[in-house]
Structures are given as C-alpha cells and as structure tokens.
Structure 1
Amino acid sequence: MDIPTEHINAFVVWIRDTGPEMLARIAYALGIFITGIIVGHFAGKAITKAMDRGKLKDEKMLTSLAARTARIAAIVVAGIMALEKLGVSIAPFVASLGVGSLVLGFAFKDSLSNLAAGILILIYRPFKIGDTIDVGGTMGNVLDLTIVNTTLKDFSGPIIYLPNRKVWGNKIINYTQAEYRRAIFTVGIAYGDDQNKAWDILQKLINDEERILKDPAPFIRLQELGDSSVNFQIFAYTEPGDYGKLLNDFYAKLKTDLEAAGYSIPFPQTDVHMYNS
C-alpha cells in the first residue's frame, strides 16, 4: 500500500524541525546514563576502600552490599535524569505506586521477604563471608551475601544460592565462630585383643596430637560390643579450622599405630556351625 505523499512530507518536516534537537537530547541522556554508570563504579570502589581501612574492614558482607547499593543508586539517579532530559516524566509512575502498591506487594512478596531477611542478616550478623555454616542441612563456605540471596560453596565444589528468607527462617549453625568443634573417632579391635593396652595406645595418640585441645578435655569410651569387634569412641575437641584435616590425619594415625602394636582392624564376618542331625 502506498503511503500518502502528505504523510511523507509531514515526516520530513518533523525530522527537519525536531530531528537535531531530538538527537541532541538522546545523546545528552545517553551521556548522563553512562556518566551514572562510571560514577557508580568509582563510588563502589571508594566505599570498599574506605570500609576496608576503617573499623569495618572485617565486615565483607556489609562492604559488598554498601558498594553494590552505591552503584545501583547512581545508575537509578542517572536513569531518572536521562528520562527527564528526554521529556519522560516519572511523576505519573510515582503517583501510580500508591494505587498499585497492594498489587505489587502480592506480586513481589517473595522478593520483599528476601529483602527483609537480608537486612536482618546484616543487622544481627549470624555469619560473615568465609565462614563455614549449615543452613537447614545445607552446608558450605559463605562466598557472598546480597540483599536477595546468600551464596555458599559446597565442599564438593558446587555453588549454592539460598534465598535470604530461607536462610533467616532456618536454623543457622556457624562452625567458624565456634570456639571449638568436636570430632568423634570410632575404632574397633578384635574380641581376643588386649583392651587395656588398646586403651593406652589411644590415650597416647590423643596426648601426642597437638591439634586436640586440652580444654574441653578429650575422652575415650567403650561404645559397644559389636557383632565382630569391640568398638571404642574417642571424643576430641579442636579448632574449627583444624577439624577437616584432623579427621583425616588422626584416623590414619590410629590405623598405623594399632597395626604396629599387633592389632588388626576387624571386619564383619559370620561364623557358620554345622551340626550332624
């Protein structure tokens, strides 16, 4: 379908009369927005540097959130200024927020819950970046906290993103902030072995291990008379940072020293007795 000549002429006139001004406005608005991005970037860096030098240098989560908030605020302000330069008024949008707040509340209730939970986490600080925590059975090292979610790194490698409302609404166990962690070692000896001598070997291992704390005092108990072995348990306490390596090293030392003393680690076995009828 052919476009009427008068429409084409009107468009050409509009381009001639308003085009340069419109292009200038677009360029100016784009410049404002880009400037906002740059300002936000440097503001975030400045806040991070200032907080790292002050009393909050250990509060990595708060520093990260403050820097991120500064960047977003600068971009939002620049965006509003750019829209106004283009002649787009945000007043009707602001006015409509009052009318639509109830609808938005229902639509974004999960996001608002995450926001509120993120603020509570920052206020009460049950953990910080780098801590090892357990949240409702999900365990890992804290990598990051945003106003919406908490990021953990599982010990097997995967990255876990937890909504803040689920973090705050669950039981949080912080292993890093604890004064110590309890390690439990279970070892069995054969029924025919000397239990008293085995007890002495275990006690010497405890005394020689520097990573086991003296207070609370470690102790040994006879756990059970198992199907194939007499089982001992060692309860020892260590610094949170030594926990994982102690588990590995101490079990290896247990096996080596017991075998050197003539003990064999029993394994499940079944005795079959044959009777002639």
Structure 2
Amino acid sequence: MPVLVRFAPGSMARVILLALLLVSGLLATLPVEAMQAADAVAPAQAPTATEPATDAPPPDDIRGRFDFTFGRVAARLAELAAKLPLLLVALLIVAFAAWLGGFVSRRLHLLRLRTDNPYMDALIRNVLRALLVLSGVLIALELLQATALVSAVLGSAGVIGLVLGFAFKDIAENYVAGVLLSLRQPFAPGDHVVIDGNEGKVVALHSRSTLLMTLDGNELRLPNALVFKAIILNYSRNPKRRFDFAVTIDVGQSIHRAQSLGLEQVCRIEGLLSDPGPSWSVQEFAPTGIVLRFFGWIDQRHSDLGKVRSEAIRMVKAAYARAGIEGPRTTYHLLTARDESRGAEVRGDAEPVLGTDADTSVNRDIDAQLAEAQQAADGGANLLERGPDAR
C-alpha cells in the first residue's frame, strides 16, 4: 500500500533547503572524483582535440575560453547525470527522515515521553524531529561521499552561532527563561498574579513571553526573562484570601458597641468563612476620629473578593446609621470659660469600663495554611530550616 507523505508549508521549505544542501555537496565532490577517475582510467593519456582538458589553463583567445568553460560545464553535467539516481535516493532518505520525525513527535505517548506540561511536550517534540532529520541528512551525505562538507558546515555554524548568540542574546535569554518557568510553574493559566507591579490573570506561557489579561481587559505581554527575575505575587495559589476595610467613628462613640455591631454585620455576609473567622482591631485613635478595621476570609473559588468587601462596607454603614453611631465630625466646637467652669460633660452613651479579659492571643489564622503550603512545596531543601545542633 503506498504511503502518502504530507508536509506543512514550513516543513516543505526545510526539505527544499536540505535538498539544496545535498546538491551543493554533490557538486563540490564532482571535480575531485572526476580527476580521480581520469587518473585511474588513463593516467598517461593526453587530452585530444575534441576533449578539452579541464585541468589545463584556459587559452588566451575568446573562443578558446568559451570552449574551455562549456567543456567544464558539460563535464559536470555529465557527472551529475551519472549520479542522479544516487541523489534521488539521498533526497528520499531525507524526506523519509522528515516524515518519521513528524510521525514520532506526534505520538509521544507511545514512547512514554508525554508529560502534563504542554510546553515541555512541544520542546521534546521539536528536539525529536530535529534529531531524526539531522540523522537522515548525515546518512544522505555519507551516501554521496560528501561528509567533508559536514565538517565545513559545522565549523561555519559554530562561528555563525557565536555571532548570532551575541546578536540575539535577549531572545535566547527569554527562551531559556521560558523553559525554566515551564519546569518550575510558579503560576497556572487563570491565576491572578502580580508580576513586577503588573497585575492580571495568566493567559498562557509562550516560548519567549508570558501573556496576561489585566483586570481592565487589556492584553499584557511580559518577556520571560523579566518574569523569571521578578517578584511574583500569586493570589490564586491559596484559595483562602483575607479582605479588610476601615470604618471611622466619632471620638465620643462607644468602641465596644461599634465593633460588636460591625462584627455582627460582617458575619451575616454570604460567602464568609467561619475558619478563620472574622476579627477586628482599633487601628488609630486620632482627634478627628477612631479608626476601626474589620477582617474576614473568603474562598476565592466561590466568592469574589471585591463584591464581598463592598457588601460588608455597605452593611456596616447601614447598621451604624440605624444605631446612631456617628462618623467623624467635620466641624470644630469651641468651649467658652463658662463651659469650662461647668466641668467636662459625660455623654450618656459613654463606653463603660470593661475588664481585662480581651483576647490578646497570637493570631493563628495563617499558621494552618502555612503548614499546608510547606508540605506541598516542591524541590530543594529549605534554607531557613535549622539543623539539630543549631542554637
């Protein structure tokens, strides 16, 4: 059954280039083989008038030069026609190697080389295809007895590669960084990250760049070398995320009442986690007001951080308005001497003196998540871990 070999446009161009390389190698070997054949068959035979001497110097007249040139061209064409079947066999070997490279690279699972990383799969596929095609080219050159051309090509490729290495240093650096990022995988598609101050969601990791979609819907492309060296903040690696917001009340309001009412409203929000539970703190006590800060945790897989935070602020503000808890005043009150003689007035809603049974224990909300992250961390010893003899 005949086998139909199909090539993509890019692969067809590479096959044509390899064919030209084989033809040039064959043409480079023709003069040497022609001289060797002439020496073996008739070493003492002088060239006749009808057979121009290919090694003799060209005559001085114009007609003699034309005859000499056409004679050399005819001799080379005759040698090429004699070796045409061998050249066709060499081209078939290269074409078969190119087809075999594509066939094997598309079936990595049969070789047990397939990984869960599509980027590494593409890299292994390209390396296998290149090795098989290179093997076919070497076999074809050996068949044409043009292996001397390989040394010349490799020597030239070394010099050209050195020049191109300096010229395309950034491209090579981005490509190597892409391979290392693919192996390490500090983020996954869809993760919410901040890379070197650029915030967005990961779209894809390409060979030379990382594609992000900003929260505004714009496409952001970062070089892999920059991503590899930058500080990466990944919001999506841990599904639990904390939100917080601040509320400022008047200095004359009861802190205990405000925090109790605020926590009650925060706990009523849908999507709030009970472990870790919500908390609060007094952030600042200033002449203009008392700043209270509330904290809560959500599961990012089921709740949106911005929506939950917005709803929490709305509910606390509405509850304070119903309870008569005022915010900071923007007006100043002047006390006259008559007011000072009366003494300081005590507000009716002043906060009662409480005991010292407030919770001041260490916050362990992060510790459990930190332990899970340390157990799931892959690769390398922890350089922060002390040995048994460390003090």
Q: TM-score, normalised by structure 2?
A: 0.49
Maintained 8 Å contact 1:152/1:161: yes
Maintained 8 Å contact 2:239/2:301: no
Letter in 2 for 1:185: F
User: Which of the two has greater strand per residue?
Assistant: 1
Residue 43 (1) aligns with residue 107 (2):
yes
Residue 67 (1) aligns with residue 121 (2):
yes
In 2, Cα distance between equivalents of 1:269 and 1:197: 19
Residue 30 (1) aligns with residue 95 (2):
yes
Q: Kindly tell me: are residues 20 and 190 of structure 1, through their superposed partners in 2, closer, same or farther at Cα, counting changes over 3 Å?
A: farther
Structure 2, unaligned runs of 5 or more: 1-65, 332-391
In 2, Cα distance between equivalents of 1:75 and 1:92: 23
1:67-125 deviation per Cα after TM superposition (whole angstroms, max 9, x unaligned): 11222113313432454437685433323354455434322322333344345435544
Q: Which residue of 2 aligns with 1:255?
A: 314
What are the residue-to-residue correspondences of 1:1-277 with 2, within 5 Å?
A: 14=77, 17=81, 21=85, 22=87, 25-26=90-91, 29-40=94-105, 42-44=106-108, 50-51=114-115, 60=116, 63-81=117-135, 83-84=137-138, 85=140, 89-100=149-160, 102-122=162-182, 124-178=184-238, 180-187=240-247, 198-209=258-269, 211-214=271-274, 216-222=276-282, 232-241=292-301, 245-256=304-315, 258-259=317-318, 262-263=321-322
Deviation at 1:132, TM superposition (A): 2.7
Q: Which residue of 1 aligns with 2:25?
A: none
More moved, 161-170 vs 213-222: 213-222
Deviation at 1:163, TM superposition (A): 2.1
**SS in structure 2 at match of 1:177:** coil
Structure 1, unaligned runs of 5 or more: 52-59, 272-277
Deviation at 1:248, TM superposition (A): 0.6
Q: CA RMSD in A?
A: 4.7
Deviation at 1:134, TM superposition (A): 1.6
**SS in structure 2 at match of 1:241:** coil
Q: Kindly tell me: are residues 227 and 242 of structure 1, through their superposed partners in 2, closer, same or farther at Cα, counting changes over 3 Å?
A: farther
1:153-195 deviation per Cα after TM superposition (whole angstroms, max 9, x unaligned): 3333334332222112111112223363221224466899887
Q: Which residue of 1 aligns with 2:12?
A: none
The percentage of aligned residue pairs carrying the same residue is 23
More moved, 198-207 vs 115-124: 115-124
Q: Which residue of 1 aligns with 2:51?
A: none
**SS in structure 2 at match of 1:106:** helix
Letter in 2 for 1:32: A
Q: Kindly tell me: are residues 19 and 220 of structure 1, through their superposed partners in 2, closer, same or farther at Cα, counting changes over 3 Å?
A: same
Deviation at 1:127, TM superposition (A): 3.0
In 2, Cα distance between equivalents of 1:262 and 1:24: 91
In 2, Cα distance between equivalents of 1:102 and 1:120: 23
Maintained 8 Å contact 1:43/1:67: no
In 1, Cα distance between equivalents of 2:287 and 2:111: 63
More moved, 119-128 vs 157-166: 119-128
Deviation at 1:267, TM superposition (A): 11
Q: Kindly tell me: are residues 186 and 44 of structure 1, through their superposed partners in 2, closer, same or farther at Cα, counting changes over 3 Å?
A: farther
Maintained 8 Å contact 1:176/1:240: yes
Larger radius of gyration: 2
Maintained 8 Å contact 1:135/1:170: yes
Maintained 8 Å contact 1:48/1:64: no
1:39-74 deviation per Cα after TM superposition (whole angstroms, max 9, x unaligned): 32x2346579954xxxxxxxx5xx213211222113
User: What number of residue pairs does the alignment pair up?
Assistant: 258
**SS in structure 2 at match of 1:152:** strand
In 2, Cα distance between equivalents of 1:116 and 1:190: 58
Q: Kindly tell me: are residues 123 and 26 of structure 1, through their superposed partners in 2, closer, same or farther at Cα, counting changes over 3 Å?
A: closer
Maintained 8 Å contact 2:266/2:312: no
Structure number with the bigger relative contact order (C-alpha 8 A, sep ≥ 6) is: 1
